[in-house]
Amino acid sequence: MLAVLLPLSALSALPALLPLSALALPTLSTARAPIGGETPFVGARAGVIATLFPGLGKPLQRLLGGEQGFTAKRRAVLRWRIAERRAEVERCSRELEALAAREYRAGRPEAPAVRVARQERVAQLRRAAGQAEASILRYKARLGAEERPGWLGVAARAAETFTASEERSARVLWTRLRQADPWDALRQDAASLLRLGSNVTLARGYLQLSSSSRLVPHAAAIVARAAKLERILELVEPHLDEVLQRFDQIEPHLPFVLDHVDVLAPHVGVILKHFDALLLYVDQPKDDLASLVQYLPIFAPLFDTLGPNIALAQPHIKALAPHLSTIAPHAARFAPYCAVSANADVLLWYFGWVLRLPLLRHLLLSLPAMPRIAAFLARRLPRRPCVRSA
């Protein structure tokens, strides 16, 4: 999932331009709710500027329109929310195009688990795009008549959508700058970018990309994680060809990848092998997804054994998450019984209390016949009580 390594040869000049690029379209930052209590700024881009240039506080606040009235601020908030939903629709569209293109290029029959995972991911993306489109219509109704006709309105909407798509990337950079001396962090990352940009393998990979322009919204996140990327390069380089093939699927999720690059890098090979199934998990709420990442070192060595269970367990991951550390030592024994993963919600509804009792859960999960018993019960226990309680 580390396709972000590819474009670094073309981004080596970004550290010098970053403070200026963070100033682009500053008025949109007024649409964000305050983040944290230590800065008067709002939005990730304004947070980056406040961290790098603390003396710009009041002047920048006036520039961002801090003295606007309630009506103007309300309009800015609604337009920002519309821009966020448009960026979400574009993200879903790009990933759907990538999935369709990969299916077309496959040229050979796929494993049933891979095909099912891809179909489920397509359904997820279509639902997400539909929900975003519905939200756009609602916000437009609240906004009222459009006041920006012509080319100026088109340009303003395009700028707002771009800024919204770049928000997650700017937040990665802002987090990085707050963890250490900001200018020292930028100097380290600039040096790492220059060294990575001179890597022949990366430069060749970047030149092979047909959609490298899509990396522009992720520039800030790439800069923020350049030093980490340099450290883990040797882990990723052997898988560069597969990363290139899947780049269109990976690109919409680059901010998340960059934010957890140190956890993902040691397992990049097995992640790419089961990429279609793992994509089903990326739309979890941010906090839930971050908590799942900590279990990756435990479950990644089991991915080949688990196979189709990865996709089958996804609808039940919220209920399974509190018990993952308990389940992990026994997961390989349950892998042949896919009914357990497919009906995990049913089993947890009836027997979840067992997993909260240390001695009893160890005794039962260690029984040789327990996987077979669990599969039998999963197919035959009534589902209606479970559905009603959900």
**Domain locations along the chain:** 3-283, 306-390
3-class DSSP state for residue 115? Answer: helix
**Residue 42: φ, ψ to 5°:** -130, 140
**Residue 34: φ, ψ to 5°:** -60, 140
CA 283 to chain centre: 7
What pLDDT is attached to residue 126? Answer: 92
Does the structure show a pLDDT above 90 at 372?
Answer: yes
Question: What value, to the nearest 5°, has the Cα angle with vertex 75 and ends 71 and 78?
Answer: 140
Return the higher-pLDDT residue of 148 and 222: 222
Q: Which tokens sit at 209?
A: 């990309």
Handedness of CA 291, 231, 213, 14 (dihedral sign): positive
Read off the pLDDT of residues 48-68 as tens digits, 9 standing for 90 and up: 888 888 877 666 666 655 556
Beta-carbon neighbour count of residue 116 at 10 Å?
16
Q: How far apart are CA 314 and CA 320, in angstroms?
A: 9
Residue % of the chain over a pLDDT of 90: 13
Q: How far apart are CA 54 and CA 133, in angstroms?
A: 39
Lowest mean pLDDT of 7-11, 95-99, 287-291, 370-374, name the range: 7-11
Q: How far apart are CA 206 and CA 5, in angstroms?
A: 9
Helix H or strand E segment including 207: helix 200-208
3-class DSSP state for residue 42? Answer: strand
CA atoms within 13 A on the CB side of 258: 29
Read off the pLDDT of residues 331-341 as tens digits, 9 standing for 90 and up: 999 999 999 99
Read off the pLDDT of residues 140-198 as tens digits, 9 standing for 90 and up: 888 876 666 777 777 877 888 888 888 888 888 888 888 888 888 888 888 888 888 77
- The amino acid present at 60, given as its one-letter code, is L
Contact 265, 297 (CB under 8 A): no
pTM above 0.85, yes or no: no
